């Protein structure tokens, strides 16, 4: 079955069939972001004869992954297994490569966030008098942020001689000393906070390498990145694995997500990103829309396309959304607006204002 490109609008067809190595599609709500991405995959496979195993498509949720797989299968009449979340991709890399740091496998070592919290509870119980007063969720956030900012790979290698025991001992001594002080200066309170966080973080790493080894959600991205830096042949292997990388919801990538995409983009790999700077929802996990906005500046020769027709909503809803976007203090966003494909009038938009007393 030949792919029918006539079902695309002219604006959608251009990025789908572009020959540029780097392609950036800025697409508003309801404009066909997923449609463009799935058709790009199908176009590469059906008309450019790229093997599906050489096309990687990444997104952020399992639900979106399944939707894309279903859509692509509907277009090319065959299933695909190279559509996945970035964390699933990181896990696939670890399955193949974790032996390099002395782990036999990671099939049975991946733990959920709930299980990670249970591990943290074990640590807090060890030093309850020092770590009490902070929620498990906040501790988990501390550990995750430290992992992003720290090259902690050496602490995960079995039998590797490290200074982790000394670090833990020093952090605990500092925390005890400052906790017993009657009055702390601002600088001492900062030192106490740092000592407690260091104690928690390095105890957690220590726990990860004990007999019941485990990797958590953050490790799925961070460990492959650190291994790419440590093992050049591993980087060469994975950066030449795909001819095309397609990334959905690029406005929601974090620094670590961005680094992983860049590492996997080899010398001849094509990178195709789609995103909407007005729909960033993962700021809480350090997503940064800058990577979408600056894509053309960081990737020479980028072909840029914009999808500005909304096929989903009534004219009234689109106009209301445009009004809000124009109020955005970000000048990049305030210049963008959507048009409704359906010009027919719909129900008036109702709104409500809520005020929270501080």
Which residues are paired to 44 by β-bridges?
Answer: none
Mean pLDDT, the chain, integer: 87
Residue 334 pLDDT: 43
Question: Looking at the DSSP assignment, which residues form a beta bridge with residue 83?
Answer: 57
- Contact criterion met (CB below 8 Å) for 13 and 42: no
Cα separation, 305 vs 133, whole angstroms: 50
In the chain, beta strands by DSSP E: 22-27, 55-59, 83-85, 244-247, 270-275, 303-307, 309-310, 339-340
Predicted local confidence at residue 228, as pLDDT: 98
Domain-wise residue ranges, the chain: 5-91+224-307, 111-214
Q: What mean pLDDT do residues 304-319 have?
A: 73
Please check the confidence at residue 160 and state whether its pLDDT lies above 90: no
pLDDT for 280 equals: 67
- Which of the pair, 231 or 179, is modelled with greater confidence? 231
pLDDT band at residue 328 using 50, 70 and 90 as cut-offs? low
Residue 311 pLDDT more than 50? yes
pLDDT at 277: 82
Q: Which residue has the higher pLDDT, 38 or 348?
A: 38
The pLDDT of residue 300 is: 95
| pTM > 0.85: yes or no | yes
Q: How far apart are CA 159 and CA 111, in angstroms?
A: 22
Give residue 183's pLDDT band: very low, low, confident or very high (50, 70, 90).
Answer: confident
Residue 235 scores a pLDDT above 80: yes
The class of domain 5-91+224-307 in CATH terms is alpha beta
What pLDDT is attached to residue 179?
A: 86
Token representation of residue 1:
């079955």
- Mean pLDDT for the stretch of residues 209-228: 91
Average pLDDT over residues 64-88: 96
- 134: confidence class by pLDDT, cuts 50, 70, 90: confident
């Amino acid at each position: 079955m030949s792919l029918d490109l006539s079902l695309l609008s002219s604006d959608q067809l251009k990025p789908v069939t572009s020959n540029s190595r780097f392609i950036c599609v800025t697409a508003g709500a309801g404009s066909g972001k997923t449609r463009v991405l799935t058709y790009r995959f199908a176009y590469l496979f059906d008309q450019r004869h790229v093997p599906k195993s050489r096309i990687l498509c990444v997104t952020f949720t399992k639900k979106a992954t399944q939707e894309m797989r279903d859509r692509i299968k509907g277009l090319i009449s065959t299933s695909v297994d190279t559509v996945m979340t970035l964390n699933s991709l990181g896990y696939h890399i670890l399955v193949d490569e974790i032996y390099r740091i002395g782990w036999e496998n990671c099939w049975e070592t991946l733990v959920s966030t709930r299980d990670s919290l249970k591990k943290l509870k074990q640590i807090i119980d060890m030093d309850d008098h020092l770590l009490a007063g902070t929620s498990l969720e906040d501790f988990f956030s501390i550990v995750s942020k430290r992992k992003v900012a720290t090259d902690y790979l050496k602490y995960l290698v079995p039998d590797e001689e490290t200074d982790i025991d000394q670090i833990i001992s020093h952090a605990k001594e500092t925390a005890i000393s400052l906790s017993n002080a009657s009055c702390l200066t601002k600088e001492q309170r900062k030192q106490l906070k740092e000592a407690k966080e260091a104690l928690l973080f390095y105890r957690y790493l220590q726990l990860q390498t004990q007999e019941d080894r485990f990797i958590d959600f953050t490790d799925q991205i961070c460990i492959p990145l650190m291994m790419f830096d440590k093992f050049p042949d591993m980087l060469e292997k994975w950066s030449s694995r795909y001819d095309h990388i397609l990334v959905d919801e690029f406005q929601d990538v974090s620094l670590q997500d961005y680094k992983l995409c860049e590492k996997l983009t080899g010398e001849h790999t094509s990178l195709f990103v789609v995103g909407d700077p007005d729909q960033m929802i993962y700021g809480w996990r350090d997503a940064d829309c800058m990577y979408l906005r600056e894509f053309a500046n960081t990737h020479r020769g980028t072909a840029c396309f914009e999808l500005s027709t909304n096929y989903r909503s009534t004219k009234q809803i689109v106009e209301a959304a445009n009004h809000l976007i124009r109020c955005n203090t970000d000048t990049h966003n305030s210049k963008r607006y959507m048009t409704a494909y359906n010009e027919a009038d719909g129900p008036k938009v109702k709104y409500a204002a809520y005020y929270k007393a501080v």
